[in-house]
Structure 1
Amino acid sequence: MAAALSCPVLPLASGCSVPVLGLGTSHQGGYSHDAVVHAIQNCGIRHIDTAKRYGCESLLQKAIKESGVKREDLWLTTKLWYSDYGYENTKKACLESCERLGVEYLDLFLIHWPDAQVPGRSNREVRAETWRAMEELYEKGLCRSIGVSNFLISHLEQLKEDCVITPHVDQVEYHPFQRPQELVDYCRSRDIVFEGYCPLAKGEALTHPSIVQLAKKYGRTPAQICIRWSIQNGIVTIPKSTKAERIEENCKVFDFTIAEDDVEVLNGLHDGRHVSWDPSLVV
């Protein structure tokens, strides 16, 4: 078995440290047992990101067992779907996710989406109630760290007013075309670690002329350029793949550095497009 990837970690306000590179999983054909086992055993990946909504928590339990890596050596993130928001529902859903994953605790538990969709109640009210349950799960040690996903500054500001514990993480879409720097800066100012999903813009970034050109310059692939750029910008980066060779490629990003002026070129590609959900319409 390969040793763990020599992957840097970022400290969280919870006192834990998260590996800056993770493996994302998803639904709709976005899960491969062999790929997850390969990532853990042969690529040294220790950070796995999933969600109840993806429907693969129980599949991950099998892959983790097969990998032979100890639970305490892994960083497991899952997410609470809006159908489980609310105080009691959140606590129940956390226990159910733990059961499906075959673990006694989560390294990170995230509120997946800011829109609660509860008739007759404001999103803010439901988010605050849900977060109170998250705080309790954290205090009990069932979740080593807690956070949110797809939350913008307005959502975080409301949470700040309504609750006690600041989220340890905000996981948001981040790639060369969607670089929400104001949100990144806001998170840093409040000691919230920013995690970025869809670092390859669902493949759209891989054919962009500037990215292809930089890949040639550095003797790398466009995917490696995007992932390295994201990590150099201080973002915990979670590419998804179901192919062993792609996961290997995505992990080979710690033995080169993109020059500052080339980072600026990539920073300049931001055009505001989303390849995933756009939370800006959620109040």
Structure 2
Amino acid sequence: MIELKSPREIERMHVTGQFVGKLLEELSTVAAVGVNLLDLEHHARGMIQERGAESCYWDYSPSFGRGPFRNVICLSVNDAVLHGLPKSYVLQDGDLLTMDIAVSIDGWVADSAMSIVVGTPREADLHLIRATEVALEAAIEAARPGNRMGDIEASIGEVAAEFGYTPNLEFGGHGIGRTMHEAPHVSNNGRRGHGMKLRPGLTIAIEPWLAATTDQIVFDEDGWTLRSADGSRTAHSEHTVAITEDGPLVLTRRPNERRPHEEASEQPQARLP
């Protein structure tokens, strides 16, 4: 069942989203060469506790995974892209790190993810990250009343193709609100003009993620961490978005987030080596 939220309920989700954005932005400044992933996990725990929020990941037990998940954030490095189980790993120069977190404040949830390069970046990694960011912004732009879910999904697939990537369709975005995962599913590719009609009050997490040279994934032995099947690098961008009468409202914008169109333009036709 899909629950449409009232403007007041969206305001409450926005409060949570602003905290999530702030948390991710702060962690992106903490993440550096020589920092252990467990330091990031505990930093996130401290911020959540101080705010009086609740982690949506702690004790999360879906059909996959060797649960329950006993951490508050997913930290995925290099070829890992989703559900990265925090472990004792010291970040190295050039590592591509994805941070994904969902929390609840006063019963309302927001979910967001970002990928960064720690230390010296490779152009190919920046290209991959940018592809997910541009795809996310294109999908957000399509999240308007009267459009259809396929318009959001096709926006992601089209940008991925322009950048030279093929999205995996096993895991994607989702409805969100009172819980982390609600209906409907939001695929990372689709057909324009198809799918459910978008209505004001719908709140969804849109999350394009890509691997450099494959659309296949494999599970780690921990039962949680998902990696590219060929070991190529990965990236993931996600925002919680509300569809309103006035258009899309991004609930998890980071305080100093720069959107792709505000940065120097990049020609996306060819994947970098």
- Check whether TM > 0.5: no
Give the number of the structure whose residues are more often helix, by fraction.
1
Task: Say which structure, 1 or 2, has more relative contact order (CA 8 Å, 6+ apart).
Answer: 2
Give the number of the structure whose residues are more often strand, by fraction.
2
TM-score (norm: length of structure 2): 0.28
Q: Which has the larger radius of gyration?
A: 1
TM-score (norm: length of structure 1): 0.27
